[in-house]
A and B are shown apart, each in its own frame.
Chain A
């Protein structure tokens, strides 16, 4: 590099790095530190308790329940979201089939894109409130009045332990599909049209085109989405906190780790214990991110 470039590069990197160290790395280090203490979060004093917080976590039935629920979300939400987003993106771009003008999406695809993206501009608490109202458990509720027409219900969507977590997961999927749709849409747009046209000319139907052409070409993007969605699934704090009974209920049916961290750290005055949960969550997130990337690794297709 020529003389004078280093100060230039450093000048650009330093502010970001400093902020990163100050607000990301240092809180991490502190969380690890506090996880070994009995800090209440309220007073400056604390004592070191070794690994006692972690030991206690192993026997904390509510935390283990939260872990299980997070695992459920982790299995279903990324899979369903990616599937739906891919499917819709495919339909919007290629689903219209081939005409003399080439391959195109289904009719009105611009409008659909807008509609799918809409939830993305709403804040999560707003989404949570809207869906709480839609899921109202009396016969006046939107879904329940529709179900009532065909003689079902009313169902307690968020008040029945068997349904509540599914309802929350559905809202998370609903709120996420639009973003990934746009992401996949952009990825498809960057694939040369000729590839799709060649597939169509070779007689591939919609399903075959999707499976054999679209999916492999978009694999990098799908992989990315997968990790992001996994992280989202480990969080879902806002939705659960606003939508569910308790929150985290009924009967811990929607209890998740992030909620337990907040409760212990703030409501129970057990910041040390909550930090231990945060440390566990940190490692889980890292491990899952790595696993997700490993199992989805494939050869990259250049075009």
Chain B
């Protein structure tokens, strides 16, 4: 903030101009190196063989950029080793970064992107914009190729269906979401055993359990209120398990009145009830993920909303003997889906840019990632399941990973997912705001539903939003 002391009014106004640039911020700075140049789409392929289905040039270099976040980048080095076993003469450049957008955006603009990019984290580039503007290579070839380590199966046959569904834009597979994330209510198994508690399967039992937990002086539920995404997961799971996946299809398709669905309203009432009955950790609506998850690790709250990265994220903080475990969301009265399922999301979006120098190499790299060996190593290193079904068989896993994989398996076809937040990015913060107000008890279920519907209607009417539809 230190400003120099100006000598005269004129310099002053000049500087006011300079400061306006600083204020106008990134957008103008970005422009300095903005749109220029085309790209190299020249596809030099080698001979296609059974071992080399995409016709990779054996000596072509491969550049890989990995998001160095919760999963680290050790797994990627392993995958690169697998690639080099097949193509020992290929030089691989490995880059692990966290500010994906800042570093990759200029490369995409200049038509010089890497061959494989893990577009993940808070600084990821908007994936639907990349897809809509033709920046992503078609992965059909990859999914139709033979899977490595699974005899006689194609890659597609080895994957959880959500991997294909989540990567499709306008019917074309463009994104490989590699990791599976399971959402639910997380608790400490050891604490529950000690107190003789059992996660409830119905909403009434859940409320009774909350009352009992509250009686011991512990808060029943914490959430990462600074980021409404977390408590939004509980809302969604309650609603979809009550009304079925059609609730999510309608919302994702921006159908009129989709948020006003009975099930969404009941779910919103349930969230409001948790707040009004005092079952939420005091102040939790103002805590960030670190503060709230630490409070939960300290047994200030029994449950917390989160996805399956939680155990890995908290491993430095969780005390000895803490058994991070996930329970499926309890069922509201009249639920159509069974208890033992939940939202299973494929995340960690790997892409091969359409303008990459070595597109076939990128596809082959992905095939190595999806091999039985490659996927198992990822799970071993990160405690997170991948979209490759059956790659974790026989692995010794932590309680968190075990319970998350149990939901993936038991839920099967009942597991569900939503996409509106990735498809209509400007809509997400509006929904987030409304969810946060609901969870803080400042608006009721009716107002939540009408605010959410208004945000959806705005997205539907926005000429710059590409509308997508989903159905069973």
A interface with B by C-beta (< 8 Å): 22-24, 26-28, 30-31, 34, 38-46, 62, 120, 124, 132, 136-139, 141, 144, 154, 156-161, 175-176, 179, 183, 224, 227-228, 231-232, 234-235, 237, 245-246, 248-252, 258, 261-271, 273-275, 277-279, 281-282, 285-286, 289-290, 293
User: Considering residues B21, B110, B130, which has the most beta carbons from chain A within 10 angstroms of its beta carbon?
Assistant: B21
Q: How far is the CB of B360 from chain A (nearest CB, A)?
A: 23
Knowing that A26-B32, A137-B286, A263-B429 are A-B contacts, what are 13 other residue pairs whose CB atoms are under 8 Å apart, sorted by A's residue number? A23-B32, A27-B28, A42-B125, A42-B135, A136-B286, A138-B281, A141-B283, A159-B286, A235-B23, A261-B24, A262-B27, A266-B26, A285-B23
When distances are taken between beta carbons in the complex, the residues of chain A under 8 Å from B32 are: 22-23, 26-27, 30
Q: Quick check: which of B52-60, B269-277, B430-438 contacts chain A, the rest being far away? A: B430-438
Cα distance, A249 to B13, chains bound together (Å):
33
Q: Are B109 and A42 in contact (CB under 8 A)?
A: yes
Q: Are A137 and B283 in contact (CB under 8 A)?
A: yes
When distances are taken between beta carbons in the complex, the residues of chain B under 8 Å from A286 are: 16-17, 20
With known contacts A42-B135, A137-B285, A268–B426 Cβ distance under 8 A: yes
Cα distance, A129 to B426, chains bound together (Å):
27
Q: Are B440 and A159 in contact (CB under 8 A)?
A: yes
Q: How far is the CB of A293 from chain B (nearest CB, A)?
A: 7
User: Considering residues A158, A237, A251, which has the most beta carbons from chain B within 10 angstroms of its beta carbon?
Assistant: A251
Q: Are B5 and A41 in contact (CB under 8 A)?
A: no
- The contact of B464 among A38, A250, A258, by CB within 8 Å, is A38
User: Considering residues A30, A237, A277, which has the most beta carbons from chain B within 10 angstroms of its beta carbon?
Assistant: A30
When distances are taken between beta carbons in the complex, the residues of chain A under 8 Å from B430 are: 62
Q: Are A42 and B436 in contact (CB under 8 A)?
A: no
14 cross-chain CB contacts under 8 A: A31-B27, A41-B30, A41-B109, A43-B134, A44-B36, A45-B35, A144-B283, A160-B286, A179-B3, A245-B226, A245-B286, A250-B437, A262-B26, A285-B19
Q: Are A246 and B433 in contact (CB under 8 A)?
A: yes
Q: Are A278 and B226 in contact (CB under 8 A)?
A: no
Q: B12 an interface residue at 8 Å Cβ cutoff? A: yes
Q: How far is the CB of A255 from chain B (nearest CB, A)?
A: 9
When distances are taken between beta carbons in the complex, the residues of chain B under 8 Å from A279 are: 24
Q: Are B13 and A31 in contact (CB under 8 A)?
A: no
With known contacts A267-B126, A285-B19, A286-B16, A250–B2 Cβ distance under 8 A: no
Cα distance, A212 to B155, chains bound together (Å):
83
With known contacts A175-B1, A261-B26, A265-B27, A44–B282 Cβ distance under 8 A: no
- The contact of A42 among B3, B126, B295, by CB within 8 Å, is B126
Cα distance, A189 to B305, chains bound together (Å):
58
With known contacts A40-B133, A42-B126, A235-B23, A124–B1 Cβ distance under 8 A: yes
- The contact of B2 among A42, A120, A139, A269, by CB within 8 Å, is A120
Q: Are B286 and A156 in contact (CB under 8 A)?
A: yes
Q: B425 an interface residue at 8 Å Cβ cutoff? A: yes
When distances are taken between beta carbons in the complex, the residues of chain B under 8 Å from A274 are: 27
When distances are taken between beta carbons in the complex, the residues of chain B under 8 Å from A227 are: 12, 16
With known contacts A232-B1, A245-B227, A159–B35 Cβ distance under 8 A: no
Q: Which residue of A lies closest to B16 (CB)?
A: A289
Q: B108 an interface residue at 8 Å Cβ cutoff? A: yes
Q: Are A157 and B12 in contact (CB under 8 A)?
A: no
When distances are taken between beta carbons in the complex, the residues of chain A under 8 Å from B429 are: 62, 246, 248, 263
With known contacts A154-B282, A269-B425, A31–B26 Cβ distance under 8 A: no
Q: Which residue of B lies closest to A59 (CB)?
A: B458
B interface with A by C-beta (< 8 Å): 1-3, 5-6, 9, 12-13, 16-32, 34-38, 101, 105, 108-111, 125-126, 128-130, 133-135, 225-228, 281-283, 285-288, 291, 295, 425-426, 429-430, 432-433, 436-437, 440, 442, 464
Q: Are B287 and A137 in contact (CB under 8 A)?
A: yes
When distances are taken between beta carbons in the complex, the residues of chain A under 8 Å from B440 are: 156, 159, 250
Q: Which residue of A lies closest to B19 (CB)?
A: A231
Q: How far is the CB of B127 from chain A (nearest CB, A)?
A: 9
Q: Are B35 and A39 in contact (CB under 8 A)?
A: yes
Q: Are B6 and A224 in contact (CB under 8 A)?
A: yes
Cα distance, A34 to B28, chains bound together (Å):
9
With known contacts A28-B21, A268-B426, A249–B436 Cβ distance under 8 A: yes
When distances are taken between beta carbons in the complex, the residues of chain A under 8 Å from B287 are: 136-138
Cα distance, A268 to B269, chains bound together (Å):
31
Cα distance, A161 to B282, chains bound together (Å):
17
- The contact of A282 among B20, B26, B30, by CB within 8 Å, is B20
Q: Are B28 and A31 in contact (CB under 8 A)?
A: yes
Q: Are A46 and B26 in contact (CB under 8 A)?
A: no
Q: Are B133 and A249 in contact (CB under 8 A)?
A: no
Q: Are B286 and A46 in contact (CB under 8 A)?
A: no
Q: Which residue of A lies closest to B134 (CB)?
A: A43
Cα distance, A23 to B134, chains bound together (Å):
31
- The contact of B20 among A138, A231, A249, by CB within 8 Å, is A231
Q: Are A179 and B2 in contact (CB under 8 A)?
A: yes
Q: Are B101 and A258 in contact (CB under 8 A)?
A: no
Q: Are B126 and A269 in contact (CB under 8 A)?
A: yes
Q: Are A43 and B26 in contact (CB under 8 A)?
A: no
User: Considering residues A26, A227, A250, which has the most beta carbons from chain B within 10 angstroms of its beta carbon?
Assistant: A250
When distances are taken between beta carbons in the complex, the residues of chain A under 8 Å from B286 are: 136-137, 156-160, 245
Cα distance, A46 to B129, chains bound together (Å):
13
When distances are taken between beta carbons in the complex, the residues of chain B under 8 Å from A234 are: 23
When distances are taken between beta carbons in the complex, the residues of chain B under 8 Å from A22 are: 32
Q: Which residue of A lies closest to B9 (CB)?
A: A293
When distances are taken between beta carbons in the complex, the residues of chain A under 8 Å from B291 are: 136
- The contact of A159 among B13, B134, B225, B464, by CB within 8 Å, is B225
Cα distance, A289 to B11, chains bound together (Å):
13
Q: How far is the CB of B156 from chain A (nearest CB, A)?
A: 28
When distances are taken between beta carbons in the complex, the residues of chain B under 8 Å from A183 are: 5
Cα distance, A138 to B226, chains bound together (Å):
13
Q: Are B25 and A237 in contact (CB under 8 A)?
A: yes
Q: Which residue of B lies closest to A30 (CB)?
A: B31
User: Considering residues A138, A139, A245, A273, which has the most beta carbons from chain B within 10 angstroms of its beta carbon?
Assistant: A245
With known contacts A250-B436, A269-B129, A159–B285 Cβ distance under 8 A: yes
